[in-house]
Amino acid sequence: MSYFSDAWNWLIASQNWHGSNGIPIRLAQHLEYTGLALIIALVIAIPAGLAMGHLRRGGFAVVTIANFGRALPTLGLLVLIFVLTSGSILSWLIPLVALAIPPMLVNTYEGVLGVDRELTDAARGMGMTEWQILRKAEIPVALPLILLGVRTSAIQVVATATIAAYIGLGGLGRYIIDGLARDEYNVVAGGAVVIILLALAVQGLFTLLRRVIVPAGLRGQAQNS
């Protein structure tokens, strides 16, 4: 139980909020890694999911990619790529992107696929082009699920970006790795608390985003992850 009070004391100590190993800097680095991985995953997964969902093809590929991505040993991949590329940025970028793609891809695909066929038929009947159907009919209806996919990816990547610290980089993982190496368990616990709070903040951000982006009439769907 004293780990909680140790973590608390570490969190409120002012020296841990300043300097190059302070919480603000580590947080900023952590968000950098998370942000870059998420953006790249978005660019890859969303268009692919939209296309496959709209054309109603590639379902098997989507499921396979999703399972493969979830089974990947992130830390193992990190070390492997680090050794192969002599420590390039790909070392942590590839594992995090690989982790982020499956939820986005699957949810986007399922979201578009699940749009009521009568709706798309009606849109086609009105003379809309395939592109217009996707933009005006399918995406708005699939939006809750797509957003859910992005949220799931974001939280997973925030939690896993700690691995960057294993190859000497920064981020909140620094507290976990250094704390463990030096038997400073208050630092480990404190660092873990910060990561948890960050994940909760991401969750809160997406809840807000949902309220803003998703049309009121569709908000009742896809409540659970």
Partner 1 sequence: MPHKKFTAVGLAAVACVAVAACSSGGSGKSSSSSGSNPLAPSASNSVVVGSANFPEDELLAQIYADALTSAGVKVTTKFNIGAREVYYPEVVKGAISIIPEYNGALLTTSVDKTSTATSTADVDAALKAKLPSTAEILNSSAAQDKDSITVTQANATKYHLTSIADLSSVAKDWVIGGPSEFQTRADGIVGLKKVYGLTFKSFSPLDESGPITLAALTSGKVQAADVFTTTPQIITDKLVSLSDPKNMFAAQNVLPLVYKKAASAKVVSTLNSVSAKLTTAGLLAMDKSLSVDHQSYTTVASNWLSQNGLK
Binding site for partner 1 (CB under 8 A): 79, 82-83, 86-87, 165-168, 174, 177-178, 180-182
Q: Is 222 left (phi over 0), alpha (psi -120 to 50) or beta?
A: left
Q: How far is the CB of 175 from partner 1 (least distance, A)?
A: 11
> How many Cβ atoms are within 10 Å of 213's Cβ, its own excluded?
14
Q: How far is the CB of 75 from partner 1 (least distance, A)?
A: 11
Q: How far is the CB of 174 from partner 1 (least distance, A)?
A: 8
Query: Closest CB to partner 1 among 30 and 174?
Result: 174
Q: How far is the CB of 191 from partner 1 (least distance, A)?
A: 13
Residues 6+ apart with CB under 8 A from 201: none
Distances (CA, A) of 87 to 73, 81, 168, 190: 18, 8, 10, 28
Query: Closest CB to partner 1 among 118 and 183?
Result: 183
Residue 215 dihedral angles phi and psi, to the nearest 5°: -60, 145
